[in-house]
Copies of this chain bind each other. A is one copy, B any other.
Amino acid sequence: MITDLKIHFSQENITYDGKQLSAHFAYRRFGICGHSCVGFIGPCHVNTSELVDLEDALAHDFIKAKSMLHFITEIFINDLNLMIAYQRLMVTCLADELHTLLTDKTIRRDGDDIFIDDRKFTVSIASLSAVSSLIHLGINIDPTGAPHHVNAIGTEELEISAPALATSVLNRFKHELSSLAKARAKVMSCGEYK
């Protein structure tokens, strides 16, 4: 029950190189202690050696974009199954917001990826540290630099304000976790079918 997600959007420009997906990023960088989701804008450049998705790492993949809107979520649980479910819900929050913003586009979620008119809009991974579970969600602003095999799209081309989108996603995800907690607390148990 995550009733108290601390959300923060930083005005600092921060390059995401994979090292930010680590325990206590929000605490060390922004002084935020506890469950948190922090957003910031900056370039993305994750080399193969920093990838934690082993499938991508073995494929010698990398992640690169001139500008992205990044979110780092840290929850102090050691439960990767639950965290991956939360990751999907966070991506769903973004998709829900996009449906309100882009009524004439096709928005497709496939696992933790979002495609807009079949062009890749996001990258995401969920992992765990020794003391917490973590999610990175990166949303293309200007995807220039993405690997050649990726047909990417960003908020600039879509004429979406990245800071406004950040605020919406942070609030939607905070609301999602709160409503999960409420659902947990108000349900009664059930028996054996006869």
A-to-B contact residues, CB < 8 Å: 1, 3-4, 19-25, 27-29, 33-35, 52-55, 57-58, 76, 78-82, 84-89, 92, 96, 99, 107-109, 111-112, 125-131, 134, 176, 179-194
Contacts and interface: CB of A to CB of B under 8 A. Distances in A.
A182 B34 contact: yes
The list of the 10 closest CB pairs from A to B, nearest first, reads: A130-B189, A22-B193, A85-B85, A25-B193, A52-B188, A111-B179, A3-B4, A23-B192, A34-B185, A54-B186
B34 A181 contact: yes
A54 to B, nearest CB: 5
Contacts of A58: 27-28
Nearest to A58: B28
Oligomeric state, in copies: 6
Contacts of A84: 180, 183-184
Nearest to A109: B96
A81 B58 CA distance: 31
Contact of A192 (B85, B126, B129): B129
B54 A24 contact: yes
Contacts of A1: 34-35, 76, 81
Given A89-B88, A130-B130, A53 B19 contact: no
Contacts of A54: 24, 27-28, 186-188
Given A4-B3, A54-B28, A55-B33, A127 B182 contact: no
